[in-house]
Amino acid sequence: MDDIDRQIVICLGEDCRRSLADIGGAVGLSTSAVNERIRRLAAAGVIRRFTVDADPEALGRGIAAFVFVGLAADADEAAFRAVAAGHPDIVECQHVTGGWNYLIKIRVGSLAGIEAFLDGFKRRRLIARSETMIALSTVVEPPFRPKGEAT
Amino acid sequence: MDDIDRQIVICLGEDCRRSLADIGGAVGLSTSAVNERIRRLAAAGVIRRFTVDADPEALGRGIAAFVFVGLAADADEAAFRAVAAGHPDIVECQHVTGGWNYLIKIRVGSLAGIEAFLDGFKRRRLIARSETMIALSTVVEPPFRPKGEAT
DNA sequence: GCTGAAAGAGGTGATAG
DNA sequence: CTATCACCTCTTTCAGC
């Protein structure tokens, strides 16, 4: 993990379809050397996956909201995590410090989708209370990768 | 934007280096058709970029925190947005409903990095008050894409 | 760990159906 | 949209430093 590795990861983050020769020119290495480094970075898990950043709006998930979640005292936290991990609306779910237990970011198609999301969790008694903040506009956002079963 | 387009985007989200023939086999189309659709999706902005999901820990940004930001009444909001957009620590910055103005997610290498981040913004009078929640563990997280040299 | 060259896979863009 | 083909860039490998 030297400085050239970092440059390569940044390069790939901007456009992972650039040719090895191109990247080599940018970082001052031959194609073979770049190829070997990328292989190593992927094998080591520094690069987790080659993916795309998609437009949530175009995929029917134009509304983002942050939901703070409080679990019940006797909550099955493992069950909550399992459901959250597989939930199609959830873009991010972090266990956090402070008065709430989890901070969840969801992406849905409409405001009704937010209500449906909360209903689903509350009906299954996975969360006890929540507070929701809706995103009005975006200044910076990480890549969006749609979930789903795609053989 | 039909169902096959959606499947293709999901496919590419899982591994954007799969061959066109592979994807064609998965969605039931020829390589030519898949090639044409991907070109169209990229041109239309449904696919914004081909990128990588990297491991923040390996890149010295193992700590995630959420910072709620309140701007001063006379704040220069455009300046705040410009600085946020280019800030290397900021992974996400959304204008949100509720008592705070912005919700920012940062990734830094240490707790000291959080303090330095807050100091930087407060010294420049870009934010008036803030509240910080630190991520203890991650259940779901979007792709992480390291930013280039401070620009 | 790197280079450079050679071999091979796969993307690209045409064709016709 | 499918099927095929020729073209050709890019990836991959390997000998050698």
Average pLDDT value for residue range B30-58: 97
- At residue B82, the pLDDT reads 98
* Residue B107 · residue B89 · CB < 8 Å: yes
Mean pLDDT for chain A overall: 96
Average pLDDT value for residue range A123-136: 96
Output the distance from A30 CA to C2 C1' rounded to whole Å: 8
The answer to whether residue B86 scores a pLDDT higher than 70 is yes
The answer to whether residue A95 scores a pLDDT higher than 60 is yes
Average pLDDT value for residue range A105-130: 97
Write the burial class of residue B42 (CB in 10 Å: 0-12 exposed, 13-18 middle, 19+ buried): middle
The gap between the terminal CA atoms of chain A, to the nearest Å, is: 34
* Segment B62-75, tens digit of pLDDT: 999 999 999 999 99
Average pLDDT value for residue range A28-50: 97
Write the burial class of residue B31 (CB in 10 Å: 0-12 exposed, 13-18 middle, 19+ buried): middle
The answer to whether residue B151 scores a pLDDT higher than 70 is no
Mean pLDDT for chain B overall: 96
Is residue B21's beta carbon less than 7 angstroms from any atom in nucleic acid strand C? yes
- At residue B148, the pLDDT reads 84
Average pLDDT value for residue range A9-17: 98
Hey, are the CB atoms on B46 and A54 less than 8 Å from each other?
A: yes
In chain A the domains, ranked by start, together with CATH numbers, are 3-43 (1.10.10.10), 63-134 (3.30.70.920)
* Segment B52-65, tens digit of pLDDT: 999 999 999 999 99
Residues 69-88 on chain A lying near strand D, CB distance under 7 A:
none
Nearest CA in chain A to B52: A50
Helix (H) / strand (E) element for B31: namely helix B31-43
Nearest beta carbon to residue B139 from set A14, A93, A141: A93
Average pLDDT value for residue range A81-103: 98
Nearest beta carbon to residue B103 from set A1, A59, A66: A66
